[in-house]
């Protein structure tokens, strides 16, 4: 009963986040990049979340940042899942193969394991350092970081399914390996990867924000949660809590909502 409430709150929250992201420009009362009032005003009727040390409206910035961060997260999660599934299928199906493909697949499996030990933030830093701090660079870097996580998961599932007799039966029926992988293996291994998208979503949001927090994320003045929190941190140490608190809260609630929303999906599927 309590868990049920948690799930519905999650669905509602995730829906709200998507709506905010979609209609951000209509919701923001001020231009998020322009000075909207005196600096460091407390939250009020005029400025719901107050203003920051530059006099920018925190509410408008938070709303616009939601658009950017969620867009990056959704894009990266979808791309990483698609690529990760393809890689995981390719690795899992060929791992015990003889010859060059088998060797390559085994190397791929080890590499995907290894990537788990690599600090993702540092990979992001290098990517931004080499290719510039544009949303595209950040998106590509995050996809590269997330992809092995999905590949690893899918590979494990493939190893479980690979020995199933229905694959041999499909082979006997003249189904080609590619068709077999797409029609019979993929649908049977996709579920955990789809559920895992909520974790990837969290990681993606964290990475974007962490880079922003370090001051090397999406370049200012584009509003971004991490960068807002970073600037707000200075204010917070002087007792002005609102420029950091609001983006921080929205960030955490967004990830929590998406995680909870996906758990609805999980329960819903299990009930069947």
Partner 1 sequence: MSAPVSTTTIRAGRLTSVAAEGLSRHFGRGAERFTAVAELDLEIPVGRRIGIVGESGSGKSTLARMIAGLDEPDEGDVVVDGRPLRQVLRSRSQRVEYRRVVQLVAQDSMSSFDPLRTVRDAVRTPAEQLCGLGRAAADALADETVSALGLSPDLLDRRPHELSGGQRQRCSLARAMVVQPRLIVCDEVVSALDVSVQGQVLNLIKDYCERTGAALAFVSHGLPATAFVAEELVVMRHGRIVERGTCDEVLTAPAHPYTRQLVAAFRGRGAGSAA
Partner 2 sequence: MRPWLHHNGWWLRRLLLLPVHLLVFALVAFALVRTIPGDPVLVVTGNQISDDQYADVQRRLGLDGSLAHQAGEYFGRLLRLDLGDSLITGRSVTEEFGSRLPQTLELAALGLSVSLVVVLALSAVVLLRPRGVISRLAMAYARSAGAIPEFAVAVAGIFVFYASLHWLPSPLGRLGPDDPVPTPVTRFPLLDAVLTGNPQVVGSMLLHLVLPVFAMVVANSAVLLRLLCSQLEVELARPATRFRISTGAPRWVVLASIYRRALPATVTMSGTLFGYMVGGAVVLEGLFGFGGMGQYLTDAVTSADLTALQGLLVVIAAVSLVVFLLVDLINMALDPRRRPGSGGAA
User: Is position 132 an interface residue for partner 2 (rule: CB under 8 A)?
Assistant: yes
CB count in 10 Å sphere of residue 74: 16
User: Is position 263 an interface residue for partner 1 (rule: CB under 8 A)?
Assistant: no
Nearer to partner 2, 120 or 170 (CB): 120
Which of the ranges 64-72, 76-84, 164-172, 227-235 carries the binding residues for partner 1, by CB under 8 A? Answer: 164-172
Nearer to partner 2, 62 or 181 (CB): 62
Mutual angle of helices 58-94 and 186-213, in 10-degree steps: 140
Asked if 40 and 235 count as a contact pair (C-beta separation under 8 A), the reply is yes
Give the one entry of partner 2, partner 1, none that residue 76 binds, where binding means its C-beta sits below a cut-off of 5 to 8 angstroms depending on kind. none
CB count in 10 Å sphere of residue 84: 25
- Kindly write out the interface string for residues 178-217 of this chain, putting x where it contacts partner 2 by CB under 8 A and - elsewhere: ---------------------x--xx--x--xx--xxxx-
- Report the C-alpha gap between 223 and 63 in whole angstroms: 9
Query: Which one of residues 184, 199, 218, 230 is an interface residue with partner 1 (CB under 8 A)?
Result: 184
- Report the C-alpha gap between 166 and 185 in whole angstroms: 10
3-state secondary structure of 32: coil
Helical residues (DSSP H) of the chain, grouped into ranges = 2-22, 24-27, 58-94, 99-115, 120-131, 135-162, 165-172, 177-180, 186-213, 225-237, 242-271
Asked if 137 and 128 count as a contact pair (C-beta separation under 8 A), the reply is yes
Q: Residue count at the site for partner 2 (CB under 8 A)?
A: 46
User: Is position 170 an interface residue for partner 1 (rule: CB under 8 A)?
Assistant: yes
Which of the ranges 26-34, 95-103, 183-191, 244-252 carries the binding residues for partner 2, by CB under 8 A? Answer: 244-252
User: Is position 236 an interface residue for partner 2 (rule: CB under 8 A)?
Assistant: yes
User: Is position 169 an interface residue for partner 1 (rule: CB under 8 A)?
Assistant: yes
Give the one entry of partner 1, partner 2, none that residue 22 binds, where binding means its C-beta sits below a cut-off of 5 to 8 angstroms depending on kind. none
Nearer to partner 1, 110 or 171 (CB): 171
CA-based nearest residue to 156, from 113, 212, 107: 113
User: Is position 172 an interface residue for partner 2 (rule: CB under 8 A)?
Assistant: no
- Report the C-alpha gap between 126 and 133 in whole angstroms: 10
Q: Which residues make up the interface to partner 1 (CB under 8 A)?
A: 98, 164-166, 168-176, 183-184, 187-188
């Amino acid at each position: 009963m309590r868990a049920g409430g948690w799930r519905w709150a999650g669905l509602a929250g995730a829906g709200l986040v998507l709506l905010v992201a979609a209609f951000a420009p209509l919701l923001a009362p001020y231009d998020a990049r322009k000075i909207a009032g005196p600096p460091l005003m407390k939250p009020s009727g005029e400025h719901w979340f107050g203003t920051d040390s530059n006099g920018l409206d925190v509410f408008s910035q938070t709303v616009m940042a939601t658009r950017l961060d969620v867009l990056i997260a959704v894009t990266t999660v979808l791309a990483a899942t698609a690529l990760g599934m393809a890689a995981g299928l390719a690795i899992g199906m060929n791992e015990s193969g003889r010859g060059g493909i088998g060797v390559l697949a085994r190397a791929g499996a080890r590499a995907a394991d290894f990537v788990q030990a690599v600090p993702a933030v540092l990979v992001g830093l290098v990517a931004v350092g080499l290719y510039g701090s544009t949303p595209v660079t950040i998106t590509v870097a995050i996809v590269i970081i997330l992809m092995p996580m999905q590949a690893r998961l899918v590979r494990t599932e493939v190893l479980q399914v690979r020995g199933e007799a229905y694959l041999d039966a499909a082979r006997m029926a003249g189904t080609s390996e590619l068709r077999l992988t797409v029609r019979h293996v993929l649908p049977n291994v996709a579920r955990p990867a789809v559920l895992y998208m909520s974790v990837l979503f969290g990681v993606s949001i964290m990475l974007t924000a962490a880079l922003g927090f370090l001051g090397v994320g999406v370049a200012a003045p584009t509003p971004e949660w991490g960068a807002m929190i970073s600037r707000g941190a200075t204010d917070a140490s002087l007792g002005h809590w609102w420029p950091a608190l609001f983006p921080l809260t929205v960030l955490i609630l967004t990830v929590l909502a998406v995680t909870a929303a996906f758990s609805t999906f999980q329960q819903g599927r299990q009930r069947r």
